[in-house]
């Protein structure tokens, strides 16, 4: 539907006949005879007035007046926009970048996909939809580091996830270190709701403390911990597999952290996990759009100014 133009101050249109009223009043007050008498030959050499030019000038002035009154009336058109306000929530993603994330055991559109690429697709899209939340990214392998401090610029976090590379933090899986760093950052946050989302596809191989103890500490400070166990195999069903994820340990971490554990074996599971996580941590930006008025007064105002300038230049020529 085409937006309709309305006037913010329609009473301003009452000014339109003002030049006509002023001209009538001036004619009524004109003197009956000339106030100054001069000899008849004094203006013999003067050029005749350009009557047509005067009429054109009056037309331009009238058009400028109409445009000025139109600007004063405040034309405006309705528009809608999203309400983006701070939610008071801070989310830190703790992403496993160990060497096993390169394993291609996911399938998308009939083509094999590595675990990291699958996570990139879903996590980046999840983050980009969290406007109003403050989002950060912690990456861990042998070591853990903050790849993106918490920020409202969710596009930059999505970009950090999309460009994350295996090996930048080592190729082992220090789950407790990644969770510990994310928790430590959360403890200094002033957010009213604090959430850590831990994603791993392996077994904690180089952590110095128990990850469940870290999760319990986080919960004690109001930080909720969700975990995502990524990969088709787990130690419960395939204890001899070198690529199996310790789903039981990640489930215990989520229980200790007061959150939910997700088991992801395929792209469909990954998509469903993102949808469920969005319900557990609802997006505050899903609100009715805000209606506002976009002013248009500058167009007739600019036209009025242009007409006056045109008339001034034309009369000086």
Q: 25-57 pLDDT, tens per residue?
A: 877 665 555 555 655 554 455 445 454 457 788
pLDDT at 196: 92
pLDDT at 257: 92
Collapsing DSSP to helix, strand or coil, 295 comes out as strand
Residue with tokens 């496993």: 96
H helices present in 73-205, as ranges: 115-128, 154-162, 175-187
In DSSP terms, 293 is beta-bridged to 78
pLDDT over 60 (residue 289): no
Percent of the chain clearing pLDDT 90 (strictly above):
17
pLDDT at 45: 52
The b-or-e profile of 33-63 (16+ CB within 10 A means b, else e) is: eeeeeeeeeeeeeeeeeeeeeeeeeeebeeb
Collapsing DSSP to helix, strand or coil, 301 comes out as helix
> Do the beta carbons of residue 181 and residue 148 sit within 8 Å?
no
**pLDDT one-digit tens code per residue, 132-170:** 788 899 988 888 889 899 888 888 888 888 888 877 766
What is the average pLDDT value for the chain, to the nearest integer?
Answer: 80
> Do the beta carbons of residue 257 and residue 245 sit within 8 Å?
no
pLDDT over 90 (residue 255): yes
**pLDDT one-digit tens code per residue, 223-252:** 999 998 887 777 777 776 666 788 888 899
């Amino acid at each position: 539907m085409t937006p309709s133009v309305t006037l913010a101050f329609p009473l301003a249109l009452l000014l339109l006949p003002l030049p006509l009223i002023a001209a009538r009043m001036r004619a009524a007050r004109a003197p009956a005879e000339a106030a100054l008498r001069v000899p008849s030959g004094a203006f013999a050499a003067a050029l005749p007035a350009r009557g047509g030019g005067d009429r054109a000038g009056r037309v331009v002035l009238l058009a400028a007046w109409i445009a000025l009154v139109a600007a004063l009336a405040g034309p405006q058109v309705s528009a809608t926009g999203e309400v983006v306000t701070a939610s008071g929530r801070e989310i830190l993603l703790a992403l496993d970048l160990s060497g096993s994330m390169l394993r291609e055991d996911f399938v998308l559109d009939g083509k094999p996909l590595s675990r990291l690429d699958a996570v990139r697709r879903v996590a980046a899209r999840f983050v980009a939809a969290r406007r109003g939340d403050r989002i950060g990214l912690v990456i861990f392998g042998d070591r853990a580091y903050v790849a993106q401090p918490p920020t409202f610029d969710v596009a930059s976090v999505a970009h950090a996830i999309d460009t994350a590379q295996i090996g930048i933090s080592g190729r082992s899986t220090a789950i407790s270190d990644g969770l510990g760093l994310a928790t430590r950052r959360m403890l200094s946050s002033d957010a009213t709701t604090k959430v850590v989302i831990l994603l791993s596809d392996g077994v904690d191989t180089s952590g110095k403390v128990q990850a469940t103890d870290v999760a319990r500490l986080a919960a004690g400070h109001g930080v909720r911990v969700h975990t995502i166990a990524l990969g088709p195999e787990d130690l419960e069903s395939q204890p001899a597999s070198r690529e199996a994820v310790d789903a039981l340990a990640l489930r215990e971490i989520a229980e200790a952290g007061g959150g939910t554990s997700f088991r992801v074996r395929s792209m469909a599971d990954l998509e469903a996990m993102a949808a469920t996580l969005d319900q557990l941590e609802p997006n505050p930006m899903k609100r009715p759009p805000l209606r506002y008025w976009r002013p248009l007064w500058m167009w007739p105002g600019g036209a009025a100014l242009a007409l006056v300038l045109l008339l001034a230049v034309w009369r000086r020529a």
